[in-house]
Structure 1
């Protein structure tokens, strides 16, 4: 399944941008996702990002996705993804993923993190956004 994770992260990220335009209809204001100010990049290109999240009322599977860009903001690299628990408590998240060799280096980068639920709607699963954030971080060498 590793091949599908970048595709899922890209799809969820694109949907998050759409959600940002209609944010009041997408998320409960008590739900949030944060990104830690420092991310790590390993010599082999593996990037690790982390933060916290809080959500409630998930009826379908909920995922924490993240992406990073450096330089050209239009070029985003999906960085892993994981499942979330929407029980109203604050939880830590950490995503890791390998990016193309040389695509990222130490220094300032933009990270987008999204908390997205896939809700059943007939025979389809449609995205429902719990929270999204976009912030500047510092990538440091491991």
Structure 2
């Protein structure tokens, strides 16, 4: 059997190096005790604020970053996001959350079908105000109904 030569040798060598790099890379620590849910409905208040709610569990009080909860409603070409009203408490217990966002810049949100998203994220800082990275700890994305109380 002949040994590979030329471009085949280069391809084999490159493949071996790539495999070695993948298997030699350190594995990221992951916690599987984080979860989040968002209710299948959102409410628009008479004052023009949309409210999303749900529950979460997290046990990742990493000193390397702050944990935050983001909620988003998507309808037609409109996407409106908001932080939760309170900072998540990562103690392993189930907690309820709510997020509110004013419709001043997105007045086209209306009653009817929409999508909702909720993410529990860890924001890692490198010093200063800009985040070094954002890791998603848990997420929930599905269809929902917007109920308009205006």
Q: So what's the TM-score if we normalise by structure 1?
A: 0.70
Larger RCO: Structure 1 or Structure 2 (Cα < 8 Å, ≥ 6 residues apart)? Answer: 1
Q: Deviations over 1:50-97 (max 9, x none)?
A: 00011112223211111111123xx41113434101111111010001
Q: 2:59 aligns with which of 56, 59, 73?
A: 56
Secondary structure at the counterpart of residue 117 of structure 1:
strand
Q: So what's the TM-score if we normalise by structure 2?
A: 0.67
Q: What is the alpha-carbon distance in structure 1 between the residues aligned to residue 34 and residue 70 of structure 2?
A: 15
Maintained 8 Å contact 1:67/1:78: yes
Alpha-carbon distance change, 32 to 40 in structure 1, aligned in 2, over 3 angstroms: same
Q: 2:31 aligns with which of 19, 24, 28?
A: 28
Secondary structure at the counterpart of residue 89 of structure 1:
coil
Q: Identify unmatched segments of 5+ residues in structure 1.
A: 1-24
Maintained 8 Å contact 1:111/1:136: yes
4+ aligned runs moved over 6 Å, structure 1 = none
Q: How does 1:1-142 map to 2 (within 5 A)?
A: 28-59=31-62, 60-72=65-77, 75-81=78-84, 82-99=86-103, 100=105, 102-121=107-126, 125=131, 126-142=133-149
Root mean square deviation, CA, Å: 2.2
